Structure 1
Amino acid sequence: MAKMASLSRGQRRVQRALEVAPGALTWTILIAPLVASFIFAPYIAFAIFLIDIYWFIRTATVVLGIRRTYRQMKRAMLEDWWQRCLSLVVSPDIIDPRRIVHAVLIPTYTEPYAILYETVRAIADAAYPAENKVVAIVTRESDRLGWENVHRLQQEFGHRLRAFVHIKDPLLPGIVVGKSAAMAYGGPVLRHELEAMGLDQKDVIVTDLDSDFRVHRQFFAYVTYQYASDRKRLECLFQPIPMFHNNLWRVPFAVRIMASACTQWQMFLSSRPDRLVAFSSYSMSLDLVIKAGYWDDDVIPEDSRFYWKSFFATHGRLKVVPVFLPIYGDAPEASDRGVLREKTHANQYNQIKRWAWGVSDVPYVTVRLLRHAEISLWLRARRYGYMIFNHLTWTTLPLLLLFGAALPRLLQEDWNLTNAA
């Protein structure tokens, strides 16, 4: 999203209208049944009935998708993917997998040493050659404790990696402080370090990794196999399945349900690559990172924004490849104990709120979809439709399903007494 100061007055008005539109449409969808029930009670009741049918069909579709993904995950976790890499026959379309270096970029702030230790240990323990793994941790320039943590990790794991880079983010003026800004600063620095090692940007796969996520032992080899054997590898983004299992049994029941639901939704999306968008932690070539212009430093949702930047940079040819392996993260948790766990629930709410900021992509995407006429109209309409539909339904459908059927009966007494009600 262009910073408002760089836009003309007319552009700022369009930008603001697009920013307001999702919220206005959401409130319209929520309020319309309430108002219309006074006059059109039978029609509102029928509409809610159709929504119930839709929800039933959607639930069945999601369950089937989760089941397919689960079966593929079970098969993928039994494979020795590095041996499969070595069995590849190099050809014009297949590159030598032994050339591929994985560079893991980890932004962090106030993350405890114990969590970072497990994150880096999972990378070091992964079944992939040590000389082909690079770790780069981004801390704030002012975060002295973070410096100490990275130094300890370098001493512990540096000899098990090709390189262990510490990037110190000065928090430049004009940024929106958060993960996206940290990645925006860290990306070019990491590129410089990799080029100093003599690496080709087409032989480097960059993984954007949350600081509490632990990669599966086969993750790097799996991605390498897919990357080396796909002739359109430079236009691929690889999305693993996040499972918030690291602390699942320590968090309250409601947080556990939310974490499991998020995992299951991502499993469903992995069965539908046409709907899959970058989420939380993902991988792509350094060449694609450069072509997309790195991450944006003035947004909150770094994952979906990077997806869209890559989509437009590749003129719509971007392919999101599901990685049928888990990547293990933490469910939101605070240090509080006891029955209520208010702080932990507040952390869960803040996480959902950060996800909701993905709606800020709407102005960015709307403007660029109109500009990129080289992308087929069908593809633009389909991807845009998925984005708008998802942002609207996850905020409105639960309320409509919970209260919608009761509104006509409560607000239109005459109709409530009829047999149709």
Structure 2
Amino acid sequence: MSAGEQNHLLPYARREDFHVGRATELSGRARFFYRCLEILPGLASWSTLIGVVLLSVYAPFVAAYFVIAFALYWVLKTAFLSYHLRYNWKRLRHHMSLDWQPMIERFPYQDFYHVVILPFYKEPAEVIEASLAALSRVRYDAKKIIVVLAGEGRAGEHAAEIGATMRERYGSHFGHFVTTVHPGDLPGEMAGKGSNASYAAERVRVEVLDPQGIKYNQTIVSIFDIDTVLYPDYFNCLIWHYHTAENPLKSSFQPVPIFNNNIWEAPAISRVVAMSSTFW
């Protein structure tokens, strides 16, 4: 990327190693250090499991104290999570009862645009359409919403066909509707949602933001799973938190995900995991 193409990036994003995705893309000491960091989580996990077995054989008292301390840690952690689970459930219900529209009138939000990136792979059209239908019903100026339906090239013709179909059905509902197909063989990339979303963000910058003269510091980007059904006041709530943040241009905002779209169609163990992950 040339110096001119990097003007829109923050200083840290202009570093040569910012886009490194794996150790093989580096060399020398940098590669060795990066590889050590990659190994560290797995090494710590395996060392703990194997270490407890060895300690139980060669130093049983140490192993016993370690197991007791570990169990005590999880008791305290469970109590901590349980308290915050209840607190945030009450907070969530309170936020859902608020009318956010009057609350943001004191902010200059009319010039702000929302870029909504929806990466998908081989999900069926019904799932994608449910997400777009919910997005089209939000209580916000639709002309300020830029939808990016980001398909994966590895999905074959499915991605292009879905993109064309959804653009025809929902393109008129929003200010802009962009479809992209992320190539599967770009050098230096790891396949997945992150690389797809990054590619889609660059495409919308080139195809919409720059040609329309939309300012970067007045653009808020939201990246969702393709099966996300948005809360109707999501953008009003997001605008409020953006304008009340101490440093909004260097802040990320995480909504509370509630995994209940198809909860009664999923296996029992999946329902338990989904509900346990809701208020992480």
Same fold (TM > 0.5):
yes
Q: CA deviation at 1:231?
A: 5.0
SS of residue in 1 equivalent to 2:110:
helix
SS of residue in 2 equivalent to 1:206:
strand
SS of residue in 1 equivalent to 2:252:
strand
- Per-residue CA deviations over 1:8-28 (Å, capped at 9, x if unaligned) read 333322232332222222111
Question: Where does residue 225 of structure 1 map in the other structure?
Answer: 240
- Would you say the 8 A contact 1:116–1:212 is kept in 2? yes
Question: Where does residue 150 of structure 1 map in the other structure?
Answer: 163
Which one of the candidate residues 111, 114, 131 is aligned to 1:119?
A: 131
Q: CA deviation at 1:6?
A: 4.6
Which one of the candidate residues 52, 70, 73 is aligned to 2:89?
A: 70
- Would you say the 8 A contact 2:152–2:184 is kept in 1? yes
Q: Over the residues paired in the alignment, what is the CA RMSD in angstroms?
A: 1.8
Where has structure 1 moved over 6 Å in runs of 4 or more? none
Q: CA deviation at 1:165?
A: 0.7
Question: Where does residue 274 of structure 2 map in the other structure?
Answer: 259
- Per-residue CA deviations over 1:89-133 (Å, capped at 9, x if unaligned) read xxxxxx501122111011111111100001111111111111111
Q: CA deviation at 1:5?
A: 4.8
Q: CA deviation at 1:167?
A: 1.4
C-alpha distance in 2, partners of 1:168/1:97?
31
Question: Where does residue 32 of structure 2 map in the other structure?
Answer: 13
C-alpha distance in 2, partners of 1:125/1:168?
26
Task: Map 1:19-418 onto structure 2 (within 5 A).
Answer: 19-86=38-105, 88=106, 95-141=107-153, 143-174=156-187, 175-192=189-206, 193-230=208-245, 232-264=247-279, 266=280
C-alpha distance in 2, partners of 1:146/1:6?
29
Query: Which structure 1 segments of 5+ residues have no match?
Result: 89-94, 267-421
Write the letter of the residue equivalent to 2:124: P
% identical aligned pairs: 24
C-alpha distance in 1, partners of 2:115/2:79?
39
- Per-residue CA deviations over 1:227-255 (Å, capped at 9, x if unaligned) read 12335211111101111111111111111
C-alpha distance in 2, partners of 1:227/1:9?
42
Q: CA deviation at 1:147?
A: 2.2
Q: CA deviation at 1:200?
A: 1.0
Kindly tell me the number of residue pairs found equivalent between the two proteins: 258
C-alpha distance in 2, partners of 1:66/1:232?
27
C-alpha distance in 1, partners of 2:46/2:54?
12
**Using a 3 Å threshold, how does the CA distance of structure 1 residues 2 and 155 change in structure 2: closer, same or farther?**
closer
C-alpha distance in 1, partners of 2:258/2:264?
13
- Per-residue CA deviations over 1:63-86 (Å, capped at 9, x if unaligned) read 110111111101110111122112
C-alpha distance in 2, partners of 1:169/1:24?
34
C-alpha distance in 2, partners of 1:262/1:65?
13
**Using a 3 Å threshold, how does the CA distance of structure 1 residues 229 and 253 change in structure 2: closer, same or farther?**
same
- Would you say the 8 A contact 2:159–2:181 is kept in 1? no
- Would you say the 8 A contact 1:135–1:161 is kept in 2? yes
**Using a 3 Å threshold, how does the CA distance of structure 1 residues 75 and 19 change in structure 2: closer, same or farther?**
same
Question: Where does residue 375 of structure 1 map in the other structure?
Answer: none
Write the letter of the residue equivalent to 2:104: C
Question: Where does residue 6 of structure 2 map in the other structure?
Answer: none
Write the letter of the residue equivalent to 1:259: A
Query: Which structure 2 segments of 5+ residues have no match?
Result: 1-19
SS of residue in 1 equivalent to 2:32:
helix
Q: CA deviation at 1:47?
A: 2.3
C-alpha distance in 2, partners of 1:116/1:67?
32
Q: CA deviation at 1:2?
A: 5.4
**Using a 3 Å threshold, how does the CA distance of structure 1 residues 126 and 2 change in structure 2: closer, same or farther?**
closer
TM-score (norm 1): 0.58
Q: CA deviation at 1:159?
A: 2.0
C-alpha distance in 2, partners of 1:146/1:11?
37
Write the letter of the residue equivalent to 1:246: N
**Using a 3 Å threshold, how does the CA distance of structure 1 residues 4 and 41 change in structure 2: closer, same or farther?**
closer
- Would you say the 8 A contact 2:21–2:190 is kept in 1? no
SS of residue in 2 equivalent to 1:54:
helix
C-alpha distance in 2, partners of 1:103/1:143?
25
C-alpha distance in 2, partners of 1:18/1:235?
25
C-alpha distance in 2, partners of 1:54/1:3?
33
SS of residue in 2 equivalent to 1:246:
coil
SS of residue in 2 equivalent to 1:238:
coil
**Using a 3 Å threshold, how does the CA distance of structure 1 residues 215 and 7 change in structure 2: closer, same or farther?**
same
- Would you say the 8 A contact 1:97–1:225 is kept in 2? no
Write the letter of the residue equivalent to 1:102: H
**Using a 3 Å threshold, how does the CA distance of structure 1 residues 49 and 104 change in structure 2: closer, same or farther?**
same
Write the letter of the residue equivalent to 1:73: L
TM-score (norm 2): 0.86
